[in-house]
A = this chain, B = another copy of it.
């Protein structure tokens, strides 16, 4: 197909597609004359993935390039590919040099060890959790392992369900999409359901009539 059809079918402008080619996120089409290039189903598939990473994951071009490079390198296993994707998604919390933060980060590391979870030392989620711990303590809501238990259990159940759903032997582009969806979109689903459930629980606990 020509670039105009690729644009129609991907929902992206010709200008955006040319930008992705220049940035080497998308391979060039096959030359089909002096000024025309021919694009295939692979291009369309790739554009859909890039669009998902940009719109759903809100990822900058450099992060998308890292994910695509890992995806195309068959030496990179799915576990590493997942780590690369999560690392690209972030969020990358600014780490202040202060004792409260260091204590919280040590608590996070101890928790992960105690749970026996296999998580890279540089996973952005460690800092994310430490930041929440600092904020909770500052407001006078100390956190104990007992407080965390329902959250740990829920997180582990959902993760098992999500990762189990990712097909190991399918196309790697589809696996990356599934990882993105599990991390970003199902988190939104969970957040929304959590708030709805809170409102319902508040109605039941607080309404005295």
**Which A residues are closer than 8 A to B by beta carbons?**
48, 52, 55-56, 77-79, 82-83, 86, 112, 115, 117-120, 123-126, 128-129, 131-133, 135-136, 139, 141, 143, 148, 150-152, 154-164, 166, 168, 177-178, 181-183, 185-208
Contacts and interface: CB of A to CB of B under 8 A. Distances in A.
- Give this chain's copy count: 2
A162 B195 CA distance: 11
A53 to B, nearest CB: 11
A200 B150 contact: no
Given A119-B199, A129-B193, 5 more contacts: A56-B139, A123-B199, A126-B192, A129-B196, A150-B158
Nearest to A191: B187
B125 A195 contact: yes
Contacts of A186: 132, 151
A132 B191 CA distance: 10
Nearest to A130: B192
A117 to B, nearest CB: 4
A203 B119 CA distance: 8
